[in-house]
Chains A and B, each alone.
Chain A
Amino acid sequence: MQVHVVDISSWTASFRYPNLISGVQPTLEVPPVSTVLGLINAAAGQYLNHQKLELGYYFQFEAKASDLETIYQIDSSNGRATNNAKSNIIRREFLYNARLKIYLTDKTLADFFRQPYYSLVLGRMNDLATVDSVATMDLPEVAYSSRIAGQVVPFKENHLAGQIQALPKYFTDTFPRQNVGTEPYSIISYLTPVKGNLPAIHDEQVGKQGIDIYIHQLDFSEYD
C-alpha cells in the first residue's frame, strides 16, 4: 500500500483526557484521532472538511513526568465570562521526547507538512513540534496484525487490550466547537504492544521489531 509518511518530533507533548478538568491534568499516552486531524489543519492553515479519509499513526515518547502549571480560571456571571480571573496551580503530566508518525493515503494532506502554515504543537502551545521528514513509502499490508502499539483503535468489535477511553474523532468549526464521532477507543501505548488480528500495514522501520499500523477509515459525511 502506498502511503505518505510524515515524521514529527517534539521535546514535550501532552494530550488531556477530554472530560477531566479539575485538580490534575493527566496525559493520554497516544493522541486521539482529533488531535492528529487538528495537526493536519494547522499545517494546511485552514479547517478541512473531510468526507472520507484514511489515516494511520504511531506515537512514542521517552519518559512521562509531571509539572506544576499556573492556570487562570475566568469568573462568570449569568453564564457569561467576566473580567475577573483567578490563578490556580494544577499538576500537568507531560511526555518527553515525543515522536509522531502520520500515515496518509492522500498526498495533498501530507504535502501540507512540507511547509506548515501554523506552528505545530503536540498538545499545548508550549509543546512545539518539528516536521522531520515527509516521505512516500510502499508498506506491505497484513490481514491479521500481530503487533499494534502507539495507536488508538476503535474498541467496538475489536476489544483490544489497553486503556479504554471515549475519544472524539474531530471537532466542528462552529462556535462553540462540537466534538464529532466520539466513541470508545483502546489506547495502546507503544510500551505494551498487543496482537490485533486486524487488517493493517506493516512498518518494519518502527522500533526493533516493526509495528503494524491500523488505518482508520473515517467518514464524516453524516456530519455535514
Chain B
Amino acid sequence: MGQQIEITSLIQPTGDPFADVGGYVIETLWEDPNLKDKDILGLIEYVANMYINQWNANLHAFFLNSKITQPAFDSKRKLAETMVYYRSILNETAPSQVGYCRISGRKTNLFAAGRDNHILSGSSTFINFHHGFESGLYLSKEIIVRFFFVPLGVMQLGDKIGLISSNNNIVAKYYVQQLLTGPDGHLTTLGRGLASGVARSDYGIVANALFAFADSCIKNIRKAVFARFDENVVEVHDTTLSLYHFTNFGAKPEVVMYQLPATVFGFYALCQAISYSEYWRPFVAAHYRNSKYKDAKYSQDSDTWVSAKEELAYDSYSTWRNVILERLLNGETLAPYFKEWIRKHKFPFQIVENYLFYVKNMDKRTLQKIKDVAGFIVSRDEDSIKKAILRLNRAKYVQEVRQYLLKLIDDNYKTNPTTPLIRLEDVEYLFPETVSWREIRDLLLIAIYEKLHDNHMIVPTEIEEQEVETSENE
C-alpha cells in the first residue's frame, strides 16, 4: 500500500494515556497469530469492521460524528469512509502542516485532531483554546491512528469509560492485554461471535476496579510488581496506577482522574504477602457495605456475607462499596478502622507499621514512642489497662489525651524514677504537626490492643460499638 509509517512511533509509550493505550492495543493485535501479517491499514480495517458490525458503531463515548458514528452513513459507507480517511492520513494526502506533534514531540507533517478522531480535544468551537486560532490539536499521523484503537483498550466503568495507565510499562500493557486476549477479551469473544462493544468492568465503583486490577497484577505478573518476593523479604517495584474516568459523549464531555500512588500500591502489594494476607483479606472483606443487605454480617470462616435469606461469596460482595479501598485511594487515614478491627481480631501490628511508614510517611520515632507508651500501659494491672482504654476512647479533645499522658508520666516516675516514659525531646515526635491527635490516640489504642492479643489478655472494656470518626481537622 506504500504508506510510510514508523512502527516504533505507533507503539512506543509517549506519556499521553490515550495514545499509549492505542499503542498497546496495536502491539497486542500484532502479537495475535491471525493478525501479525496485517499492515496498519489492514489492522484499521479489521478493527473498523468490528466496531461497525459487532459493536453497532457504538463509539459515542469516544468520537463525536466520526466516520463510524455518523448517523447519516450506512454500514458499508461507514467502513468505506473510515478507510478513505485513515488512508489519507497514512498517505499524508489529508490537509497537513509541518510542526512538532503535541504528543510525540516529533517534527513531521501534522493533522488536525478534534472530537471526531481524538478524545476530549474539543470541537471546532474551541478555536480560541488553540494557538493562533488553529482548528484543533495538531498531531502526527501515528498518534491519530493510535486513537482509533483506544476503544479496545478501555472498559465501561459505571457511567463512564475507565482507562488505566501506569509508569510500569508491563503493568500498563497487561491491562490492555487482558481486555484483548484474556478469557473474556475482545479477540476471544469475537472468535465466539459474542463481541458486542466496549468491555464492561465487573465493578461500577472506581476504587473496586483499581484494586481489582492491582490484585490481578499481584497474582499474574508478579515479576513486574515485586523486585523480590520470598518468605523473609518482600520488595515492591514503584508502580503508580492512574485511572482516567471519561466520556467524550454529546454535550457533556468529562474526565475525572484517580491516582493510586506507588506508596499505596506498594503497601497493598505487601499486604498480599504470605505472612500478612490471612489478616489483611478479612479486614478488607468485612468493610464492604450494600444498602440492600443491611442485615448481612461478614463471616470470616466462610469468607461470605450472610443475610437471613442468602449467603454471598466474594464474586458478589466485591462489587459493593468498600470504605477501606476508597480511603486508600483518596489518601484518607485508616487508623480509626484499624483501631476498631484490632479490638476483636488478631491483626499484626506490622501491617499498621507498614501503612504508617509507606503510605502516611510517618517518622519511625513517632511510632516507637507510641509503642513505648502502649508497652508501659499494658505492663500495669488489669484495672489500669481497662481505665486507660476507656479514657483514651472517650477523649473528645486533645487536652484529655495530653492530661492522661502526663498522668502516665507521673505514674511511671513514682515506680521507676530512673527512666522517664516520655522525654521532652520526644514530644514533637509524639504529636507531630502533620498528624492529627485523633490518629495518634487511635494508634496508641491499636498498639495497646496488639500487646493484649500477644499476651492473650482479655480486658473487659465494655466499649459500645460506634461509628468510626472521620474528622481529621480537629
Contacts and interface: CB of A to CB of B under 8 A. Distances in A.
Interface of A: 18-24, 26, 72-76, 79-81, 86, 155, 159-168, 171, 175-186, 189, 191-195, 208
Contact of A186 (B167, B169, B248, B259): B167
A191 B240 CA distance: 13
B88 to A, nearest CB: 18
A22 B123 contact: yes
A19 B121 contact: yes
Contacts, number: 143
Interface string B156-200: 000000000111110000000000000000000000000000000
B105 A86 contact: no
B122 interface: yes
A21 B126 contact: yes
Contacts of A193: 361
A165 B238 contact: no
B94 interface: no
Contacts of A194: 238, 262
Nearest to B110: A178
B15 A183 contact: yes
Contacts of A86: 125
Contacts of B102: 18-19, 166, 168, 179, 182
Interface residues of B, number: 56
A81 B15 contact: no
Interface string B78-92: 000000000000000
Given A21-B129, A193-B361, A163 B16 contact: no
Given A19-B120, A168-B105, A182-B105, 9 more contacts: A23-B252, A26-B255, A73-B125, A74-B128, A74-B133, A81-B128, A164-B166, A165-B17, A182-B104
Interface of B: 13-17, 19-20, 99-105, 115, 118, 120-135, 137, 165-169, 238-240, 242, 248, 252-257, 259, 261-263, 331, 361, 434
A22 B253 contact: yes
A65 to B, nearest CB: 14
A162 to B, nearest CB: 6
Given A20-B120, A75-B125, A163 B137 contact: no
A76 B133 contact: yes
Contacts of B132: 175-177
A181 B167 contact: no
B358 to A, nearest CB: 11
Contact of B262 (A76, A161, A175): A161
A22 to B, nearest CB: 4
Contacts of B261: 161, 189, 191-192
Contacts of B166: 164
Contacts of B248: 22
27 contacts: A19-B16, A19-B118, A21-B130, A22-B115, A22-B126, A23-B120, A23-B254, A26-B256, A74-B125, A76-B125, A76-B127, A80-B133, A155-B15, A161-B167, A162-B240, A164-B20, A164-B242, A166-B19, A166-B103, A176-B131, A177-B132, A178-B99, A180-B100, A183-B15, A183-B105, A184-B13, A184-B14
Nearest to A23: B253
Contacts of B239: 161
Contacts of B123: 22
B15 A166 contact: yes
B120 A22 contact: yes
Contacts of A195: 238
Contacts of B127: 74, 76, 81
Contacts of B168: 159
A20 B163 CA distance: 15
Nearest to A177: B131
Which of B126, B165, B169 has the most chain A CB atoms inside 10 A of its CB?
B126
B128 A73 contact: yes
Contacts of A21: 120-122, 126, 129-130, 137
A101 to B, nearest CB: 20
A167 B19 CA distance: 13
Contact of A160 (B101, B167, B255, B256): B167
A191 B132 CA distance: 36
A76 B114 CA distance: 14
Contact of B165 (A20, A24, A160, A164): A164
Contacts of A76: 124-125, 127, 133, 135
Nearest to B432: A208
Contacts of A192: 261-263
A96 B103 CA distance: 29
A181 B105 contact: yes
